[in-house]
């Protein structure tokens, strides 16, 4: 069957569908991404501060925040006076 170039994803989606867990994981990532970016709109925050505001474990905040740094949505800010924790800010 000839499939139009640029529309092959639609072809495979119709052929085999998308697993529920994949859709759920995307929703979860979008929810966390929105929560982090909304919180960072107000001020630069450390992982611990974000964790407290979002009521989310620090290691989860670390993982998602660092992924957002990689994707160019968040940037690393200053380190604190004790050279221990960086703060993070939204990329304008």
Q: Which of 31, 34, 52, 59 binds other proteins (CB under 8 A)?
A: 59
Cβ pair 36, 64 in contact under 8 A: yes
Main-chain phi, psi angles of 77, to 5 degrees: -100, -140
Cβ pair 76, 41 in contact under 8 A: no
State how far the Cα of 79 lies from the Cα of 88, in Å rounded to an integer. 9
29 or 38: CB nearest other proteins: 29
Q: Which of 54, 66, 89, 90 binds other proteins (CB under 8 A)?
A: 66
Subset of 11-50 contacting other proteins (CB under 8 A): 11-13, 18, 22-23, 25-26, 29-30, 33, 46-48
Helix (H, G, I), strand (E, B) or coil at 76: strand
Write out the residues near other proteins by the rule CB under 8 A.
3, 5-13, 18, 22-23, 25-26, 29-30, 33, 46-48, 51, 58-59, 62-67, 69-71, 76, 79, 83-86
């Amino acid at each position: 069957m000839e499939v139009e170039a640029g529309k092959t994803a639609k072809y495979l989606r119709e052929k085999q569908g998308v697993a529920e867990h994949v859709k759920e994981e995307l929703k979860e990532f979008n929810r966390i991404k929105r929560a982090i970016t909304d919180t960072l709109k107000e001020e630069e925050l450390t992982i611990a501060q974000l964790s407290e505001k979002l009521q989310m474990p620090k290691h989860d905040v670390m993982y998602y925040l660092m992924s957002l740094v990689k994707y160019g949505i968040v940037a690393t800010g200053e380190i604190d006076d004790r050279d221990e924790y960086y703060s993070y800010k939204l990329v304008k």
